[in-house]
Amino acid sequence: MENMDDTSGSSFEDMGEMHQRMKEEEEEEAEGEAGAGEEEDGEFLGMKGLRGQLGRQVADQMWQVGKRQASRAFSLYANIDILRPYFDVEPVQVRARLLESMIPVKMINFPQKIAGELYGPLMLVFTLVAILLHGMKTSDTIIREGTLMGTAIGTCFGYWLGVSSFMYFLAYLCNAQITMVQMLSLLGYGLFGHCITLFVTYNIHFHSLFYIFWLVVGGLSTLRMVAVLVSRTVGHTQRLILCGTLAALHMLFLLYLHFAYHKVVEGILDTLEGPNMPPFQRVARDIPVVSNAILNTTAKAIALTL
Give residue-wise pLDDT tens across range 108-125.
778 888 888 899 999 999
Instruction: Provide the pLDDT confidence category of residue 9 given band limits of 50, 70 and 90.
Output: very low
Q: Where would I find the H helices in the chain?
A: 2-87, 91-100, 119-138, 147-173, 180-190, 192-203, 207-213, 219-231, 236-255, 261-273, 289-305
Residue 17: pLDDT above 70?
no
What average pLDDT score do residues 76-94 get?
78
Least confident of 46-60, 187-201, 214-228, 273-287: 273-287
What is the reported pLDDT for 15?
59
What is the reported pLDDT for 300?
59
Comparing 112 with 60, the larger pLDDT belongs to: 112
Q: Are residues 138 and 243 in the same domain?
A: yes
Q: Are residues 210 and 150 in the same domain?
A: yes
What is the reported pLDDT for 259?
86
Comparing 126 with 108, the larger pLDDT belongs to: 126
What is the reported pLDDT for 196?
95
- Give domain status of residue 300, yes or no: no
Is the separation of the CB atoms in 255 and 213 below 8 Å?
no
Q: Are residues 113 and 242 in the same domain?
A: yes
Task: Supply the range of the domain harboring residue 254.
Answer: 92-273
What is the reported pLDDT for 23?
67
Residue 25: pLDDT above 90?
no
d(CA 197, CA 259) in angstroms, rounded, equals 13
Residue 293: pLDDT above 60?
no
Q: Are residues 143 and 15 in the same domain?
A: no
Q: Are residues 70 and 204 in the same domain?
A: no
What is the reported pLDDT for 285?
39
What average pLDDT score do residues 158-183 get?
93
CA-nearest of 131, 140, 159, 153 to 266 is 140
Of the ranges 17-21, 38-42, 112-116, 127-131, which is most confident? Answer: 127-131
pLDDT above 70 covers what percent of the chain? Answer: 65
- Give domain status of residue 305, yes or no: no
pLDDT tens by residue, 231-249: 999 889 999 999 999 999 9
Instruction: Provide the pLDDT confidence category of residue 144 given band limits of 50, 70 and 90.
Output: low
What is the reported pLDDT for 143?
56
d(CA 239, CA 253) in angstroms, rounded, equals 21
Q: Collapsing DSSP states into helix, strand and coil, what is residue 234?
A: coil
Residue 222: pLDDT above 80?
yes
Burial class (CB in 10 A: 0-12, 13-18, 19+), 98: middle
Q: Into how many domains does the chain fold? A: 2
Last residue of a domain, one of 63, 88, 113: 88
Last residue of a domain, one of 60, 88, 116: 88
Q: Are residues 20 and 74 in the same domain?
A: yes
DSSP 191: T
Q: Are residues 58 and 183 in the same domain?
A: no
Q: Are residues 101 and 67 in the same domain?
A: no
Q: Are residues 84 and 103 in the same domain?
A: no
Last residue of a domain, one of 88, 103, 124: 88
pLDDT above 90 covers what percent of the chain? Answer: 37
Residue 31: pLDDT above 70?
no
What is the reported pLDDT for 54?
73
d(CA 258, CA 135) in angstroms, rounded, equals 9
Q: Are residues 172 and 268 in the same domain?
A: yes
Residue 19: pLDDT above 50?
yes
Instruction: Provide the pLDDT confidence category of residue 206 given band limits of 50, 70 and 90.
Output: confident
